[in-house]
Amino acid sequence: MDAAILARVQVWLNGNYDAETKATIEQLQKDNPDELADAFYRNLEFGTGGLRGIMGVGTNRMNKYTVGMATQGFANYLKKTYGDAPVKVAIGHDSRNNSRFFAETTANVFAANGCEVYLFEALRPTPELSFAIRYLGCQAGVVCTASHNPKEYNGYKAYWNDGGQLVPPHDKNVITEVEAITSVDEVKWSGGESRIQLMGKDMDAAYIEMVKGLSVYPDVIAKQHDLKIVYTPIHGTGITLVPDVLKAFGFTNVTVVDEQATPDGNFPTVVYPNPEESEAMHIGLQKAKALDADILLGTDPDSDRVGIGVKNHKGEWVLMNGNQTAVLAFAYMMEARRAKGIAQPNDMVISTIVTTEMINDVAKANNVACYNVLTGFKWIAELVKAKEGKENYIVGGEESFGLMIGDKTRDKDAISAVALLCEMAAYEKNQGRTLFDKMIDLYTQYGFYYENLISITKKGMNGQKEIAAMMEGYRTNPPATINGAQVVQLLDYQLQQGKNLVTGESWSIDLPKSNVLQFVTADGSKISARPSGTEPKIKFYFSVKTDLASRADFDAKLAELENKINGIVKDMQLK
């Protein structure tokens, strides 16, 4: 084993670590040295969003010690930022194994550092934590979750006083403070327990009232209150709020998927507890078919992602992708506000650079400003903050099944999204249509945009190097053609530069640096490559477009676009 890894192992065996941890390390030394090496070959990185990793012993794992050291660094930064002023921190967690333990560990360390801590009494959705930060006037927040990752993972999302995740300069400054904590002996583990207050039903009531205020057509819901809704929390936190929010909106016919209703960090019915995955929505689809429902909705463990299922133009149940869901939500919020007479001249919406450009077209047609930011809701939240008092934010979203409706939460919020998507389904049903019908109408109006995503996982010590090598290859030697179409533009967000590969013209990209590359072809296709910030993956996003003259052409045009994406994937040798 590498000498540096062995040195880290010895620190844990000889230091102030509990006996169970040391025993586990000794067992791994005997039985699984490769796993031990992976657990100690580096420190689990505190990235710009916080921590995320496999649970277990070691410097490269989520455990009491990595969580405690991260919290100590965060607390040190808060004290440097606010000085002697009182600091309040809100803390939440999801249904994952150890999430409550990590949340309590986090609360104890913050409290021992003199912070006033508001800890949710039990699991709650991530968006409620974002809401609570603003509602209570906190300086920071933390939620212990690994979102949609498999059961072996957990994580630690860090928030600032606006309820959004950390952005510059705070993200890098917190990372610096966290990396400065080199020993568990520097952590204040206890001594401030009296500064911890539990929160629960009162915060739930305030949050539900806020979400209820987002409704545009309560009168339509009153007419369609018995809309057949099937909902699955996929063993996560959504069960704590979604049924109550739907009731508050006025819906009376909600069926929860029993098999996935109980919060359970082992996620017994799925491999990936992610509504992006058809497998995670399979049981819900079966229930929706059996009940002849109007809409199926699913949320991930911390309830920031939402997936929906609807009947298509043939009456078959299908799952909408994240881009389609976003387009429907953006169009509804803009069109409904205009029809209701509540649209403002300074209304704005926010999308991201890897989300369908159809949103830009819809916004333009509705005379609403549309901004495109880097991937991640922290950038949406940051722009909302920058535009406060100048422009009126309505909705933001991205292709990864995330929506942020209204500005009272500053992270993606599947709870409010579920409610608004049901309202949208009720609105369409009131006109004898489905959400899928609406989607086709939008395609005929704005053009048939179609998107897909491929994620390539590269695990272990060499994974990050392989991903970095792939990006470097694309950056230094971009393809001249993709699927027979000439590549005419290269957008490099790391270099903050766009280049016309035909004329040689270049221009600056006015966004923060990010390791993203986009290739635009002569036929209007766009391919984006981006390493994940939270998982050992590199993601490739594909967007193609054609015209849709009539609803009758939908199937043929869809097959054409699917074939086009398949051709791109094959040509780029991604499968």
Nearest one of 347, 337, 345 to 370, comparing CA atoms:
347
Structural domains of the chain, count: 4
Which range marks the domain in which residue 532 is found?
A: 448-571
| Tens digit of each residue's pLDDT (9 = 90 or more) over 240-299 | 999 999 999 999 999 999 999 999 999 999 999 999 999 999 999 999 999 999 999 999
> Rounded CA gap, 212 and 218, in Å?
9
Residue 221 lies in a domain: no
CB atoms < 10 A from the CB of 19, how many?
A: 7
Task: Out of 205, 240, 264, pick the residue that ends a domain.
Answer: 205
> Rounded CA gap, 37 and 373, in Å?
38
In this structure, which amino acid lies at residue 108?
Answer: N
Give me the torsion for CA of 567, 569, 572, 575, rounded to 10°: -130
Catalytic residue among 95, 130, 147, 215: 147
Is 39 in contact with 61 (CB distance < 8 Å)?
A: yes
Task: Tell me: pLDDT of 32 over 70.
Answer: yes
Q: What is the mean pLDDT of residues 335-363?
A: 96
Residue 220 lies in a domain: no
Same domain as 497, residue 410: no
Same domain as 282, residue 397: yes
Task: Tell me: pLDDT of 461 over 70.
Answer: no
Same domain as 463, residue 358: no
Same domain as 141, residue 60: yes
Residue 121 lies in a domain: yes
Q: What is the pLDDT of residue 48?
A: 79
Annotated active-site residue 147? The verdict is yes
| Tens digit of each residue's pLDDT (9 = 90 or more) over 184-229 | 999 999 999 999 999 999 999 999 999 999 999 999 999 999 999 9
Average pLDDT, the chain: 96
Residue 427 lies in a domain: yes
Task: Tell me: pLDDT of 536 over 80.
Answer: no
Same domain as 36, residue 48: no
Same domain as 461, residue 358: no
Same domain as 434, residue 301: yes
DSSP secondary structure, 179-211, as one string:
HT---GGGS--SS-GGGEEEE-HHHHHHHHHHH
In the numeric block, the tokens 């508001």 are attached to 118
Same domain as 494, residue 441: no
Q: What is the mean pLDDT of residues 92-110?
A: 98
> Rounded CA gap, 499 and 509, in Å?
10
Distances 380 to 71, 149, 339, 415, 571 between C-alpha atoms, Å: 25, 22, 26, 18, 34
Residue 211 lies in a domain: no
What SS3 class is residue 487? strand
Task: Tell me: pLDDT of 535 over 80.
Answer: no
> Rounded CA gap, 385 and 177, in Å?
25
How many residues belong to the chain? 575
Q: What is the pLDDT of residue 533?
A: 67
| Tens digit of each residue's pLDDT (9 = 90 or more) over 401-458 | 999 999 999 999 999 999 999 999 999 999 999 999 999 999 999 999 999 999 898 8
Nearest one of 125, 237, 141, 154 to 534, comparing CA atoms:
154
User: Residue 534 — pLDDT band, cuts 50, 70, 90?
Assistant: low
Q: What is the pLDDT of residue 521?
A: 96
Same domain as 467, residue 404: no
CATH number of domain containing 53: 3.40.120.10
Distances 164 to 129, 161, 371, 458 between C-alpha atoms, Å: 10, 7, 18, 29
Same domain as 461, residue 376: no
To 10 degrees, what angle do helices 33-40 and 19-31 make?
130
CB atoms < 10 A from the CB of 85, how many?
A: 9
Same domain as 277, residue 332: yes
Task: Out of 171, 205, 239, pick the residue that ends a domain.
Answer: 205
Q: What is the pLDDT of residue 176?
A: 96
Residue 210 lies in a domain: no
Same domain as 170, residue 268: no
Q: What is the mean pLDDT of residues 303-332?
A: 97
| Tens digit of each residue's pLDDT (9 = 90 or more) over 127-170 | 999 999 999 999 999 999 999 889 999 999 999 999 999 999 99
Q: What is the mean pLDDT of residues 326-338?
A: 97
Tokens of 483: 């699927």
Q: What is the pLDDT of residue 391?
A: 98
Task: Tell me: pLDDT of 537 over 90.
Answer: no
| Tens digit of each residue's pLDDT (9 = 90 or more) over 480-494 | 999 999 999 999 999
Task: HSE, CB side, 13 Å, CA atoms: give it for residue 29.
Answer: 12
Residue 214 lies in a domain: no
CATH number of domain containing 488: 3.30.310
Number of H helices and E strands in the chain, helices first, is: 18, 23
Is 257 in contact with 284 (CB distance < 8 Å)?
A: yes
> Apex CA 77: angle with CA 72 and CA 83, to 5°?
115
Nearest one of 15, 119, 112, 103 to 58, comparing CA atoms:
15
Residue 408 lies in a domain: yes
